[in-house]
Amino acid sequence: MADLADFGALVPADHGLVVMTVLGPDGRVRPSVVNAGVIDHPITGNRVVAVVIHGKARKLVHLRARPRASVALRAGWQWAAVEGPAQIAGPDDPVDGIGRERLRLLLREIFTAAGGTHDDFEEYDRVMSAERRAAVLITPERVFG
């Protein structure tokens, strides 16, 4: 059994690319490729897997109805996966303790934890706001790999 540190160690190997799965309304698994990183939850301080999702993504609709997700990543033959409850924090999903400014910084934190870099974070912030991007925080109930 792996732990979250094992998962986090693999993030830099492929730019934080993971396969994220959520459940659709028919109970089928809906996979997609996103960038993920490991950060401290902005309220609890516990380590979580975090992703940034476009505000119009169906993934958010599915997560609102069924707030669980899994993410899996690999580097060569090494791999790790995390599954657990998912919390959305975004302009359409307000969370007590995460105001507008904290959300702006949280999106940056997730982006950089996933290996992202940007020459103009003001532009990054503008695009994240215009696209109503949300943070998805997955609390690891099970880590394996």
pLDDT of residue 2: 77
pLDDT of residue 1: 57
pLDDT of residue 85: 98
Local mean pLDDT, 10-residue blocks, the chain (145 residues): 88 94 96 97 97 97 98 94 98 96 97 94 96 98 94
Distance CA 73, CA 80 (A): 6
Written as one letter, the residue type at 82 is V
CATH number attached to the domain at 4-140: 2.30.110.10
End-to-end CA distance of the chain: 6
- The pair of structure tokens assigned to 143 is 């880590």
- The pair of structure tokens assigned to 132 is 């109503």
Distance CA 94, CA 98 (A): 7
Are the C-beta atoms of 72 and 78 separated by less than 8 Å? no
Distance CA 89, CA 2 (A): 27
Distance CA 51, CA 20 (A): 9
Domain ranges of the chain: 4-140
